[in-house]
Amino acid sequence: MKKLLLSFAMLALVISPALADKHVKAGPRKGLIMELQGKNAEFFVEKDHTVSIAFYDASGKALTPSDEVVTATAEAPSGKAKLEFEKKGNLLVSKAPLPSGDGYQVVVQAKASADAKSKNFRVKLQLHTCAGCSNPEYACTCDE
């Protein structure tokens, strides 16, 4: 009986993260919110296909980028493309555009500061607009 209870407890520990709330949050620019230590970063694909990252404090107030570190890898069908970011005004903007097309993964590595632990985010790049919430599909907040 103890083995059975222990097995159920172990199974619950393994399964519970998979069942955790994975509710998507969108930012003021209708981009995908990525939660970092003490701040949020908003992933947004611009019209020229570059990626911009805006930062916000916990209350949603815009922050000017300081020592945050962001890199991304687009896993496009044509091959992987690494994106580096530079500061432009109140944003970090990719130096190069994303590869053409959509439906592929973009892996974003972000640090809240240069000495912070890196956090990875996987973004399924779907650029069409969701009819339900009017966000780009990669930042859709609908429950579908």
Q: What are the CA-CA distances from residue 31 to residues 16, 45, 52, 99, 132 (Å)?
A: 28, 8, 9, 19, 15
pLDDT tens digits, one per residue of 65-100? 999 999 999 999 999 999 999 999 999 999 999 999
Entry pTM: 0.82
- 83 in a domain, yes or no? yes
- 55 in a domain, yes or no? yes
CATH number, residue 52: 2.60.40
- 9 in a domain, yes or no? no
Residue 19 forms beta bridges with which residues? none
- 12 in a domain, yes or no? no
pLDDT tens digits, one per residue of 104-136? 999 999 999 889 999 999 999 999 999 999 999
Q: Domains in the chain: how many in total?
A: 1
Residue 138 DSSP code: G
- 117 in a domain, yes or no? yes
Rounded to whole angstroms, how far apart are CA atoms 138 and 127?
Answer: 7
- 135 in a domain, yes or no? yes
Give the structural domain span for 73: 30-139
- 16 in a domain, yes or no? no
| Cβ(92)–Cβ(70) below 8 Å | yes
